[in-house]
Amino acid sequence: MRISVTIFLTDETITPVRLARELEQRGFAGLYLPEHTHIPVERTTPYPAGGELPPEYGRTLDPFVALAQAAAVTERLGLGTGVTLVTEHDPIGLAKQIATLDHLSGGRFTLGVGFGWNVEEAADHGVEWPARRELVRDRMGLMRALWAEEPAAYEGEFASVRASFAHPKPTQKPRGPVVGPRTLVGGAAGPKLFAHICEYADGWLPIGGRGLSESLPLLRAAWADAGRDPGALQVVPYAVHPSPGKLAHYAGLGIEETVVQLPPAGETEVLRLLDAYATYVTGTADSSDTV
Query: How far is residue 55 CA from its own chain's centroid?
Result: 21
Distance from C-alpha of 283 to C-alpha of 186, rounded to nearest angstrom: 27
The predicted-structure confidence for 2-16, as pLDDT tens digits, reads as follows 999 999 999 999 999
The predicted-structure confidence for 46-72, as pLDDT tens digits, reads as follows 999 999 999 999 999 999 999 999 999
pTM: 0.96
Mean per-residue pLDDT of the chain: 96
Q: What percent of the chain has a predicted confidence (pLDDT) above 70?
A: 98
Q: Which domains does the chain have, with CATH numbers?
A: 2-282 (3.20.20.30)
Position 209 scores a pLDDT of 86
Contact present, 77 and 146 (Cβ < 8 Å): no
Compute the average pLDDT of residues 31-39: 98
Bridge partners (DSSP) of residue 112 are 184
Distance from C-alpha of 16 to C-alpha of 62, rounded to nearest angstrom: 11
The predicted-structure confidence for 87-105, as pLDDT tens digits, reads as follows 999 999 999 999 999 999 9
Burial 174-201 (b: 16+ CB within 10 A, else e): eeeebbbbbbbbbbebeeebbebbbebb
Q: How confident is the model at residue 286 (pLDDT cuts 50, 70, 90)?
A: low
The SS3 assignment for 104 reads helix
Bridge partners (DSSP) of residue 4 are 259
CA atoms within 13 A on the CB side of 41: 0
Is the pLDDT at 27 greater than 80? The verdict is yes
Bridging pattern class, strands 84-85 and 160-161:
unpaired
Is the pLDDT at 288 greater than 90? The verdict is no
Q: Which amino acid is at 238?
A: Y
The predicted-structure confidence for 194-211, as pLDDT tens digits, reads as follows 999 999 999 999 999 889
**What angle is formed at CA 68 by the lines to CA 64 and CA 73, rounded to 5 degrees?**
150
Find the farthest-apart pair of alpha carbons in the chain and give their distance in angstroms, rounded: 57
Position 289 scores a pLDDT of 46
